Amino acid sequence: MKNRAPFILSILAIILVVFLLQPAYAGLTNRYVVKNNPGAAAPYDTLANAAGDIQTAINNAYAGETVLVAAATYDTGGTNNWPAGGLLTNRVAIYKEITVKSINNDPANTIIRGATHNGTNGPAAVRCVYMAANSHLIGFTLTGGATASDGSILARYAGGIFCPSTEATVSNCVIANNISEADCGGIYYGTVFNSIISNNYAKGYSGGAKNGIFNNCTFNNNACVYQGGGAENITASNCIFAYNTAGGGGAARSGTYYNCLMYGNKALLYSGGAMECSSGHNLKIYNCTIVGNHAAGNGAGLGGGGIVFSNGRTGTVCNSIVYFNFGFKGSNIYTDGSGTAYITNSCTIPSMAGWVGSSTNDPLFALNGTGYGTNHLAGNYRLQKDSPCANSGLNQSWMPGAKDLDGSPRIDRFSGTVDMGCYEYHPRGTMFKVR
């Protein structure tokens, strides 16, 4: 044993040295940002020594940490090559698996502002934020961003936020007044919660958002040249689409929509509400209310105030109300002869062959609203007690535990049958247990 003692002591010494040399970040900490902080000093782990800009704090953070940002407008600096190969500058690049959060979860006063190139897209433009997979952004306004005017989609998509997949998450944010040279003026991909996507513009498709997953979000006043004023090919749950405009599909193009409300949207040609037209993705509408939308076109094959299926695409409308829309050909649901719509337990007019369990009767909203498209004065689209849409839906596997647009149980516990539309009618005096 005596001969082994020096060897054992050597091993213990090495272990001790390794332990003493462990970096300070072995225990995760927060990094702080205070704009233009004169006392900024690494490791930026208190408000007193906070970084003076967001990117510096991100560069010094380690995976799993949180960067906490004090209220201010962050509108200088930037970094490029995010995503890799993209030449567009990002005001902020969250290229690590970290969380970036406003200190008070305060989007009204914590702003990341991009930049245009002489008022539009171009080489001097700056996107607001790039986000890597498994990164998180909470409590900001992203505004004023723009994209390059040429190059790959990495540089021409999303003046607001560019995510490579749905594995980046955004919550309690306002994505507003951004532009893109190609698609998605607001946000590309991402999983988004409780946010507002507003007044974004795309010179191509999808004014507000393209791809991605959206929960409890509002899309309003977004626009694009071609199709999908509010969004394109997203999965949306409990979202509102209002006053968006496009050449086709004022509210949305393709995608899957649950418990959504689409009103006051406008298309210059066809489908004031939602549309599917050879994009490679089918349109699926479940328990949505689509009302007061306008398709302005009056040429051959144009129209469809509420929903349009064309060019051989197949769509689904289930448990939904598509009523009081206006278009020159088919005010509510229109197919051009090549498109196919599977309509089940829905309320719309006129009826078509093959519809199952559907109604053409007035849905009896609490208040219909007036006008169409961007001139629509919003009503109250909850159901009256005697509505033919109450207890007339088809229960589906996704509904247990789901909420309607008001946050009430999707299936009324007294009737046991889901209603049509985005709101469930609950008898006056019904009480719910809040978890």
Is the peptide bond preceding residue 83 cis, with omega within 30 degrees of 0? yes
Contact between residue 29 and residue 43 where contact means Cβ atoms under 8 Å apart: yes
pLDDT: which is higher, 409 or 328: 409
- CB neighbours of residue 73 within 10 Å: 14
Measure the CA–CA gap between 314 and 323, rounded to whole angstroms.
21
Taking only the tens place, the pLDDT of each residue in 174-226 is 999 999 999 999 999 999 999 999 999 999 999 999 999 999 999 999 999 99
| 50-57: long-range contacts, CB 8 A cutoff, minimum separation 24 | 53/77, 54/92, 54/100, 54/112, 55/79, 55/92, 55/93, 57/31, 57/32, 57/33
Q: Kindly list the distances between the CA atom of residue 118 and the CA atoms of 53, 153, 254, 269, in Å, as whole numbers in the listed order.
A: 25, 21, 33, 31
pLDDT band, very low/low/confident/very high, at 15 (cuts 50, 70, 90): very low
Q: Kindly list the distances between the CA atom of residue 256 and the CA atoms of 163, 236, 270, 350, in Å, as whole numbers in the listed order.
A: 20, 6, 19, 24
Measure the CA–CA gap between 59 and 64, rounded to whole angstroms.
13
Please, which residues bridge with residue 179 across strands? 201
SS3 of 339, please? coil
Please, which residues bridge with residue 286 across strands? 258, 318
pLDDT for the residue 24: 43
Measure the CA–CA gap between 215 and 238, rounded to whole angstroms.
6
Q: What are the structural domains, with CATH classification, of the chain? A: 28-225 (2.160.20.10)
DSSP state of 59: H
The pLDDT of residue 22 is above 50: no
Classify residue 6 by burial, with Cβ atoms within 10 Å: 0-12, 13-18, 19+. Answer: exposed
Edge-to-edge order in the sheet of strand 141-143: 72-74, 110-113, 141-143, 174-176, 196-198, 218-220, 240-242, 261-263, 289-291, 321-323, 347-348
pLDDT band, very low/low/confident/very high, at 328 (cuts 50, 70, 90): confident
Measure the CA–CA gap between 361 and 380, rounded to whole angstroms.
18
pLDDT for the residue 303: 66
Measure the CA–CA gap between 46 and 339, rounded to whole angstroms.
59
Taking only the tens place, the pLDDT of each residue in 129-185 is 999 999 999 999 999 999 999 988 899 999 999 999 999 999 999 999 999 999 999
Please, which residues bridge with residue 340 across strands? 314
Nearest CA among 377, 376, 373 for reference residue 294? 373
Measure the CA–CA gap between 369 and 156, rounded to whole angstroms.
38
Mean pLDDT of the chain: 89
Instruction: Give the position of tokens 């009503």.
Output: 379
pLDDT for the residue 428: 64
The pLDDT of residue 241 is above 90: yes
Q: Kindly list the distances between the CA atom of residue 192 and the CA atoms of 138, 239, 244, in Å, as whole numbers in the listed order.
A: 10, 11, 19
pLDDT for the residue 7: 42
pLDDT for the residue 210: 97
Secondary structure in 3-state letters for 243-257? CCEEEECCCEEEEEE
Cβ-based neighbours of 296, under 8 Å, separated by 6 or more: 266, 267, 268, 269, 373
Instruction: Give the position of tokens 């944010």.
Output: 173
Nearest CA among 207, 190, 316 for reference residue 252? 207
